[in-house]
């Protein structure tokens, strides 16, 4: 270890399997570009607080990265219905709050919320009093945010998470029973990550055709 790093990383907490749960605000860049900076900060702070306060799973908060919040939970995977229920609560609080801001300040930008759920090995370490996450699972989760889909309202669940639950692909009816679902893959330098993508947005006919060409017939799971 380099001399300038000595004493910076105090202790490794350990490597464990864990859940990565990332709610991410859609439309945030356009929102920031078209709103007064102080008003935008106030809205953003309120929306992020609503997401954090509705963390009903007791997940740990690793970091806030602009428009995304990285939660994690070490140990056995949390059952899917509880993961979705927690995100439903976050989404509803987020949406209700933003509707009030839009009405009060005549804000035109549309914001929505999307979710990445992944599972795998995580190293948690302490640096200057902050708990940080390290490992391929963390990098993969960030890469999944850049999955190339332009839908604003979606849930992305990896096969790694479902395999840890010993569960096959779900159909999500948490927000909208007409969610379009399909299976896809993201290729990284290390591996291919298979995932299920569930979109609740109204899509163009071209986008719908592309997605429906990959739709799987999936058994429903009650929430």
Task: Determine how many CB atoms are found less than 10 A away from the CB of residue 117.
Answer: 25
Interval 99-127 mean pLDDT: 93
CA angle 88, 94, 99 (to 5 degrees): 125
pLDDT surpassing 90 at residue 154: no
The confidence score (pLDDT) of residue 199 equals: 79
Angle between helices 37-53 and 80-105 (to 10 degrees): 150
> How confident is the model over 158-187, as a mean pLDDT?
73
Overall residue count recorded for the chain in this entry: 223
Residue partners of 197: CB distance under 8 A and separation at least 6? 147, 149, 154, 155, 156, 181, 182, 183, 184
The pTM for the full model equals: 0.80
More confident residue, 165 or 215: 165
The 3 state secondary structure assigned to 14-64 is EEEEEEEEEEEEECHHHHHHCCCHHHHHHHHHHHHHHHHHCCCCCCEEEEE
Q: The domain 3-157 is classified under which CATH number: 3.40.50.410, 3.30.300.30, 3.30.70.1230, 3.40.50.1100?
A: 3.30.70.1230
pLDDT of residue 125: 85
Query: CB–CB of 152/110 below 8 Å?
Result: yes
């Amino acid at each position: 270890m380099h001399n300038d790093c000595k004493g910076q990383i105090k202790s490794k907490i350990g490597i464990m399997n864990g859940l990565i749960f990332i709610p991410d605000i859609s439309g945030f860049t356009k929102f920031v570009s078209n709103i007064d900076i102080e008003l935008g900060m106030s809205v953003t702070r309120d929306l992020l607080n609503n997401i954090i306060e509705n963390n009903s799973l007791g997940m740990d908060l690793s970091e806030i990265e602009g428009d995304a919040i990285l939660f994690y939970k070490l140990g056995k995977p949390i059952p899917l219905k509880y993961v979705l229920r927690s995100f439903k609560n976050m989404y509803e609080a987020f949406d209700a709050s933003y509707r009030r801001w839009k009405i009060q300040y005549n804000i035109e930008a549309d914001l929505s919320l999307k979710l990445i759920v992944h599972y795998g090995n995580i190293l948690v370490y302490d640096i200057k009093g902050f708990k940080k996450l390290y490992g391929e699972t963390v990098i993969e989760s960030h890469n999944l945010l850049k999955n190339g889909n332009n839908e604003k309202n979606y849930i992305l669940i990896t096969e790694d998470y479902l395999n840890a639950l010993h569960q096959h692909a779900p159909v999500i009816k948490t927000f909208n029973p007409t969610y379009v679902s399909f299976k896809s893959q993201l290729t990284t330098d290390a591996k291919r990550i298979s995932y299920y993508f569930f979109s609740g947005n109204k899509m163009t006919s071209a986008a719908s055709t592309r997605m429906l060409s990959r739709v799987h017939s999936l058994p429903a799971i009650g929430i």
